[in-house]
């Protein structure tokens, strides 16, 4: 089973970004369903023994408890040869510690690139930045309380990935 650990976006955040997607519906992109919006903490990996992972997930403890995510900008990513639209924000110390503790707990190797808070809103074929239309409403100020983490299943298809919740855990023990 292909799984990953993340933070499911709140209903309010889903509505905000669904509204943005609807306002930008004419863009030549594949929008991510609002129910699939999330912040990835541990990227997808294959696991055959899902019960073992659930047990390990349920034993995870994050002493810092709840914290806020602050989203600041909607933009093309990466740089000069973008292939997605994402929402990024402040990678706070609490978020970074949660990300690092989860990688240690699950013995997953961290990616070489620096971890950045983001939510993917859309994907598209890689193009030169000059070929893409400007995005409306780039600067934003949205806050979301993080009070739990989610173990997701990720199913890949030609239409894109869909995610379902396997289990969730409160950040307060």
Domain segments of the chain: what residues? 2-170
3-state secondary structure of 131: helix
Confidence bin at 35 (pLDDT 50/70/90): very high
- 141 vs 71: CA distance, rounded Å: 6
> Which residues pair with residue 110 across a beta bridge?
none
Residue 111 confidence (pLDDT) = 82
Q: Which of 171, 156, 168 is nearest to 123 (CA)?
A: 156
pTM beyond 0.85: the answer is: yes
DSSP state of 124: -
Handedness of CA 83, 78, 31, 8 (dihedral sign): positive
Confidence bin at 137 (pLDDT 50/70/90): low
- 139 vs 151: CA distance, rounded Å: 30
Encode pLDDT of 44-94 as tens digits: 999 999 999 999 999 999 988 899 999 999 998 887 778 889 999 999 999
Token reading at 152: 């997701």
Q: Could you name the CATH architecture of 2-170?
A: Alpha-Beta Complex (3.90)
Q: Which residues, in sequence order, are CB contacts of 151 under 8 Å at separation 6+? A: 3, 4, 5, 53, 54, 57, 165, 166, 167, 168, 169
DSSP state of 37: -
Q: Contact at 8 Å (CB) between 2 and 154?
A: yes
Residue 148 confidence (pLDDT) = 97
- 164 vs 131: CA distance, rounded Å: 34
Please tell me which residue, 15 or 81, carries the higher pLDDT value.
Answer: 15
| Residue 157: other Cβ atoms inside 10 A | 7
């Amino acid at each position: 089973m292909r799984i990953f650990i993340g933070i499911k976006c709140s209903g309010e955040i889903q509505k905000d970004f669904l509204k943005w997607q609807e306002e930008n519906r004419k863009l030549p992109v594949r929008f991510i369903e609002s129910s699939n919006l999330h912040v990835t903490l541990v990227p997808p990996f294959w696991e055959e023994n899902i019960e073992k992972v659930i047990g390990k997930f349920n034993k995870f403890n994050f002493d810092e408890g709840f914290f806020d995510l602050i989203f600041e900008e909607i933009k093309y990513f990466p740089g000069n040869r973008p292939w997605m639209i994402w929402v990024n924000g402040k990678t706070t110390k609490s978020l970074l510690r949660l990300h690092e503790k989860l990688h240690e707990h699950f013995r997953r190797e961290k990616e070489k690139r620096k971890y950045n808070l983001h939510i993917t809103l859309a994907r598209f074929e890689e193009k030169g930045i000059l070929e893409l239309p400007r995005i409306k409403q780039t600067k934003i100020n949205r806050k979301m309380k993080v009070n739990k983490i989610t173990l997701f299943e990720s199913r890949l298809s030609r239409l894109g990935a869909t995610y379902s919740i396997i289990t969730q855990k409160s950040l307060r023990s």
